Structure 1
Amino acid sequence: MGTFIQLVVDGLATGSVYAALALAIVLVNQATGLINFAQGGMAVFSAYIAYAFVRVGLPLIVAILLALVISFFIGALVERFLVRRFERGDPDTAVVVTIGLLTLVTGIAAVLWSYNNLPFPSLFPLTSVDILGAVVSVRSLATTVTILVIMGVLQVLFLRTKLGLALRAVADNPGSAAFSGLPVGRLLMIGWGLAAALGCIAGVLVAPQLTLTPGMLDTALVYALAAVILGGLSSPIGCVVAASAIGVLENLVAVYVPLVGHDLKIAVPFALIFIILILRPQGLFGRKVVVRV
């Protein structure tokens, strides 16, 4: 039982990393209708910014807050001067643009800080606690709780605030939103800025566990995209639940299914995607879109 609990807790901690990126992807999609494949690279770049502030002697919490602000403005500027040219065009072109942005951001981070593994200080203590025979890291628990709080804030943002409703209106129909008097361009910038700030949180939470490198979140981005598909593009709660399920199932399958093991456990989210796309294409918590013709 202790091994089972350990696997579940570790899976939830890993899933919280996937969930942070998935939430940022959902935020961009809700604000602009696009899927940002550069989200992982932008999150890593934000973590490097926080690292640079720590290196000059600033306290970690201050460095992270400054990185959050800078990340917000970087995300807003990226939307204004790059992505906006492709947002309402061919979706395939927009996808290529975000993939190119991922390559660009990763390259800039490598040029500025190199590909070497850099130690990043942890925001939470490195102590452990015993839960029903399982040794659980306080950092893992704190990371999971942080992601749950962010999920709740995003859910309230989209469903209970004027800003969230305006962001959804712009994503659904920018033309009608503009005729209604909404500042479409400004809202698009805010959506990308918020997603970049959320990515910054993901970066600084993951960096102490993996060490800071330009490609630190490449694999996590794949799992985050899987969580978005499973949970539904319109549901922050669904993405967090799906990301947590992926993390837990991946750990359990690796240990209890010898045929899969640790080498093939990456196939778990793709098997789930295949099943969900057949049974419920809009995702477990997504809304089914009905088009009147």
Structure 2
Amino acid sequence: MLQFTNTALAGLVLGMIFAAFALALVLIWRSTRILNFAQAPMAVLTTYIALVMIEDGRPYWLAFVVALLAGLVLGAVLERVVIRPVEGKPDINAVILTLGLFIVFKSGAEVIFGTKLRTYPPTFGIRGIEIGDTTIGITTSDFFTIGAVIATLVLLVALFRFTDLGLKMRAAANNQEVAGLLGVKVGAMLTLGWALAAVVGSLSGLLIAAGGLVQPSYMDSIVVFGFIAAVIGGLESPAGAVVGGLLLGFSLSFVSGYLSAQLVALVALGILMTVLTLRPGGLFTATQGRRV
């Protein structure tokens, strides 16, 4: 029973980590109609900024906030300087560009910070919660991760459903010409979308790093599993990103705990194929394609 509980709790935390990165992908897709494959190395850069500040003796939460602000600025500058020239061009142009940025940022992090493993301090405690004489496999840092992801989900849902700003961002992403004619500042909305997505991506990098070892490639696997989680839930849905992350997290945790860790990638692919076969738009897709 204890093994089952700990495996389930590990799946919950793992799912929330996947969901954190998936939310960044959903946000940028919903607000710009671009998938930013450079999201992970961007998060790595901002995480290293926080780590350097902490190692220099700066307060943990100051470094945390600075990393998020760095993500905000980095996302906005990238959209203005790098992405803006290819907007309105074939979609594949932006995809290839973000893949190129993935390589550039990862290589830059290796040059600036080195490839040596470095310890990132935990947000809170790393000891399991004690219930009587039993210690279960979830920590106060894990609770912070869960709470941060839930708070991000609530804020994104509120942004897109209940605010004029969210409506303008969606309008600019779906049809720039019409949105412009209606008075929406399309350029500003696209820049804001990139900036906010970079903040969420930076948050995911900080949550993943907390209490562990970091190096420039520490988020590489998260790119794959976070993308799968976003696609499973539906790229339009923040709630779907969290559900997709949890589905993937629980599944992979139980497969790793009761079968073999070597089957994790195969199971993730199987889940993705099953969902896309039954619901090509994802579990939380709002519309169904018409069959001819």
Measured in 1, the distance between the counterparts of 2:108 and 2:188 equals 27
Instruction: Measure how far apart 1:252 and its partner are.
Output: 1.0
Q: Which amino acid in 2 is paired with 1:167?
A: M
1:272 corresponds to: 271
Q: Structure 1 residues 52-61 or 182-191, which shifts more?
A: 52-61
1:66 corresponds to: 66
Equivalent position to 1:249, from 233, 237, 251: 251
CA contact (8 A) 2:121 2:212 kept: no
Equivalent position to 1:135, from 134, 137, 146: 137
Instruction: Measure how far apart 1:210 and its partner are.
Output: 3.4
Measured in 2, the distance between the counterparts of 1:99 and 1:8 equals 34
1:114 to 1:274, Cα distance in 2 relative to 1, 3 A: same
Mapping for residues 93-112 of structure 1, pairs under 5 Å: 93-112=93-112
Measured in 2, the distance between the counterparts of 1:281 and 1:190 equals 29
1:224 aligns with 2:226: yes
Measured in 2, the distance between the counterparts of 1:54 and 1:217 equals 20
1:255 to 1:125, Cα distance in 2 relative to 1, 3 A: closer
Q: Deviations over 1:227-270 (max 9, x none)?
A: 111000110001101101101111112333x4xx1112111221
1:56 corresponds to: 56
Q: Which amino acid in 1 is paired with 2:253?
A: N
Percent identical residues: 33
Equivalent position to 2:235, from 233, 236, 239: 233
Measured in 2, the distance between the counterparts of 1:255 and 1:21 equals 23
Instruction: Measure how far apart 1:4 and its partner are.
Output: 1.1
Mapping for residues 34-53 of structure 1, pairs under 5 Å: 34-53=34-53
CA contact (8 A) 2:119 2:211 kept: no
Measured in 1, the distance between the counterparts of 2:60 and 2:171 equals 37
Instruction: Measure how far apart 1:97 and its partner are.
Output: 0.7
2:83 corresponds to: 83
Structure 1 unaligned segments of length 5 or more: list them: none
CA contact (8 A) 1:46 1:68 kept: yes
Measured in 2, the distance between the counterparts of 1:276 and 1:229 equals 9
Structure 2 unaligned segments of length 5 or more: list them: none
1:211 corresponds to: 213
CA contact (8 A) 2:12 2:250 kept: yes
TM-score w.r.t. length of structure 2: 0.94
Instruction: Measure how far apart 1:57 and its partner are.
Output: 2.3
TM-score w.r.t. length of structure 1: 0.94
Q: Which amino acid in 1 is paired with 2:281?
A: Q
Measured in 2, the distance between the counterparts of 1:217 and 1:171 equals 27
The alignment partner of 2:280 has SS state of: coil
CA contact (8 A) 1:46 1:199 kept: no
Measured in 1, the distance between the counterparts of 2:57 and 2:137 equals 33
CA contact (8 A) 2:123 2:211 kept: no
Q: Which amino acid in 2 is paired with 1:265?
A: V
Measured in 2, the distance between the counterparts of 1:243 and 1:88 equals 31
1:124 corresponds to: 124
1:177 aligns with 2:176: no
Measured in 2, the distance between the counterparts of 1:53 and 1:120 equals 11
1:144 to 1:173, Cα distance in 2 relative to 1, 3 A: same
Q: Which amino acid in 2 is paired with 1:197?
A: V
Measured in 1, the distance between the counterparts of 2:288 and 2:89 equals 21
The number of equivalent residue pairs is 288
Measured in 1, the distance between the counterparts of 2:227 and 2:141 equals 24
The alignment partner of 1:136 has SS state of: coil
Q: Deviations over 1:9-61 (max 9, x none)?
A: 10111111111110001111011101111111111111011112223321010
Runs of 4+ in 1 over 6 A off after TM superposition: none
Equivalent position to 1:146, from 142, 145, 148: 148
Q: Deviations over 1:204-230 (max 9, x none)?
A: 111134312111111011001101110
